[in-house]
């Protein structure tokens, strides 16, 4: 079955770095753009970043631009989020999500979500 499994979360001090992973299975990962979405404790959903199926088109939320980097390894069916210079406000559950259609990075909602991995930024 189609599945996304995030990992790599944990407790990290402000200013430090962390890399999240999202392992995909049950579908042709290399044909899909992929997203990261986060949710701070008790708050709503915030879109973070997207990469096209081939990694050539990437967009970020203003709140993470210049600090976070999204990437993928299609040979490993894995999506990554490198998070640098972490701040307390980056504390959240981070979800990876798949678009509802293939190839295009635009005009697709997100139909498959992982269970999330928790990042806590605290001294």
Partner 1 sequence: DIQMTQSPSTLSASVGDRVTITCRASQSISSWLAWYQQKPGKAPKFLIYKASNLESGVPSRFSGSGSGTEFTLTISSLQPDDFATYYCQQYNSYPYSFGQGTKLEIK
The residue ranges that bind partner 1 (CB under 8 A) are: 35, 44-47, 50, 59-62, 95, 100, 106-116
Residue 106 CB, nearest distance to partner 1 (Å)?
A: 8
Query: Tokens representing 8?
Result: 């790599």
Report in angstroms how near the CB of residue 108 gets to partner 1 at its nearest.
7
**Which phi and psi (to 5°) does residue 114 adopt?**
-80, 180
Task: Please identify, using beta-carbon distances, which residue of 14 and 40 lies nearer to partner 1.
Answer: 40
Cβ at position 94, least distance to partner 1 in Å = 11
Give the nearest distance from C-beta 41 to partner 1 in angstroms. Answer: 12
User: Is there a contact between 77 and 24 (Cβ–Cβ < 8 Å)?
Assistant: yes
Torsion of CA 109, 86, 4, 57, to 10 degrees: 50
Q: Exposed, middle or buried: residue 10 (CB in 10 Å: 0-12, 13-18, 19+)?
A: exposed
Between 27 and 108, name the residue whose CB sits nearer to partner 1: 108
Pick 15 or 26: Cβ nearer partner 1: 26
């Amino acid at each position: 079955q189609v599945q996304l499994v995030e990992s790599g979360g944990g407790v990290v001090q402000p200013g430090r770095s962390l890399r999240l992973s999202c392992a995909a299975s049950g579908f042709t990962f290399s044909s899909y753009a992929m997203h990261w979405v986060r949710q701070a404790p008790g708050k709503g959903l915030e879109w973070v970043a997207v990469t096209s199926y081939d990694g050539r088109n990437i967009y970020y939320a203003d709140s993470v631009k210049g600090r976070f980097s999204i990437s993928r390894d299609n040979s490993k069916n894995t999506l990554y989020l490198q998070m640098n210079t972490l701040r307390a406000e980056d504390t959240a559950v981070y979800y990876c999500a798949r678009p509802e259609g293939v190839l295009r990075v635009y005009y697709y909602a997100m139909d498959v979500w992982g269970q999330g991995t928790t990042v806590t930024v605290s001294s």
